[in-house]
Structures are given as C-alpha cells and as structure tokens.
C-alpha cells in the first residue's frame, strides 16, 4: 500500500476529503503523515483527530529554504513516503525537494491550467471574465503550476459570482477530484510521457 504525506499550511479541508476517501476505500493508500509549516494550522488538528502522525516543522529553525526542504526530504525518506500531496501548502518547494520525488508530488490548483496559475487563480479567472473555470490536479515540476496535468474538472462561472462563491464551488470539485487522482497513483494507473499524463488500465 502506497504511503502518502500531506503538506498543508492552513485549514486542511482537502486533507479532510482525502482522509474520508481513504477511510471509505476510495483511495488505495494510507496517509502516513501530515506536515505543516504553521504551528496553528487546522490541518494538524484534523490529522490528530484522525489518529494520523502530524508534525510541525518550523522554517525558522533552518538557515535557508534549501536547508528546510532538505529536512523535509530526510523526514519523508525516513517515513518511506511514496506520494507527496500538497493541500494548501503555502511554500514553494525548492528544486532539491522536487528532484528527490520525481513524478511523486501532486498539487491541486483552482483553475483549468495552464490558464491562471499562481496564488490568485480564482480571482484572476473572475476578473478576466471567463465563463468556465475549474480545478486541476497536476504533478509538480520546477515551474509555477506547470507540471503534467493529471485530472481537470470544469466549474461554470455564474454571473453573480464573487471570488468567494466561485471558490466554494471549485472547492466542492476539488474534494472529488483530488482523491480520484491520488487513488489512480496508488493503483499505478498513471503514466507520464513528456507533458502528457495518461490513465492506463
């Protein structure tokens, strides 16, 4: 069974959806560890409620971003982690981390990439005036939201939408889509060729 770590900085709502999916058997893997860079992250409290090992690793304890990421790598290797799942982790991972886990790091982004990458994907889509946006699960590479796309789901933009109401509907899609992508990884159903990620039987 694949061992998963979830890195989260905030509320951990995607973490909750992932833990629910593991419990119901919709993810053929186990969340072995949750790590946060924020001591007060609700994600850590959620992990503890689910009896999942939870660690706060303070960036201020390390002299540089590379040293911090190296500490994360060492922790994950020690835990024999197969898949790194980013769930609202607000730190950009350094190349040394990404190279330690090639095609083993997933992120979910609230837009249909490559449109509207970066921190304000929902607001940028709304301001641009698109009629459809959504969410994207992708493998993480060394670019910004630029790795191979695993799954996407479209979410229509309603005329009265604010960034908040649109984000709420995108979140509902995320809670379905992310566990599905993680399960495909755990069952070794994903194959990447160049930029294309294919689902295999």
The closest of 117, 156, 121, 139 to 194, measured between CA atoms, is 139
CA 4 – CA 156 distance, rounded (Å): 31
Q: Phi, psi at residue 20, to the nearest 5°?
A: -60, -40
- 109, 138, 167, 171: the catalytic one is 109
- CB under 8 Å to 72, separation ≥6 — which residues? 7, 35, 57, 97
Displacement of CA 34 from its chain's centroid (Å) = 12
CA 177 – CA 192 distance, rounded (Å): 18
Write out the DSSP string of 154-172. EEEPPTT--HHHHHHHHHH
Does the annotation mark 109 as catalytic?
Answer: yes
CA 201 – CA 189 distance, rounded (Å): 7
**Positions marked catalytic:** 109
């Amino acid at each position: 069974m694949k061992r998963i770590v979830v890195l989260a900085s905030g509320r951990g709502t995607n973490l909750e959806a992932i833990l629910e999916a593991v419990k119901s058997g919709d993810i053929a893997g186990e969340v072995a560890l949750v790590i946060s860079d924020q001591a007060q992250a609700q994600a850590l409290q959620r992990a503890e409620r689910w009896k999942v090992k939870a660690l706060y690793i303070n960036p201020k304890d390390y002299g540089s971003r590379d040293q911090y990421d190296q500490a994360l790598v060492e922790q994950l290797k020690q835990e024999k982690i197969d898949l790194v799942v980013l769930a609202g982790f607000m730190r950009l991972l350094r190349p040394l981390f990404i190279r330690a886990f090639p095609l083993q790091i997933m992120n979910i982004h609230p837009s249909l990439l490559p449109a509207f990458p970066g921190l304000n994907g929902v607001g940028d889509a709304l301001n641009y005036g698109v009629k459809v946006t959504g969410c994207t699960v992708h493998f993480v590479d060394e670019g910004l939201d630029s790795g191979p796309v695993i799954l996407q789901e479209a979410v229509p933009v309603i005329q009265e939408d604010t960034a908040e109401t649109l984000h709420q509907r995108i979140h509902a899609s995320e809670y379905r889509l992310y566990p599905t992508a993680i399960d495909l990884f755990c069952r070794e159903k994903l194959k990447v060729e160049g930029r294309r990620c294919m689902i295999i039987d």
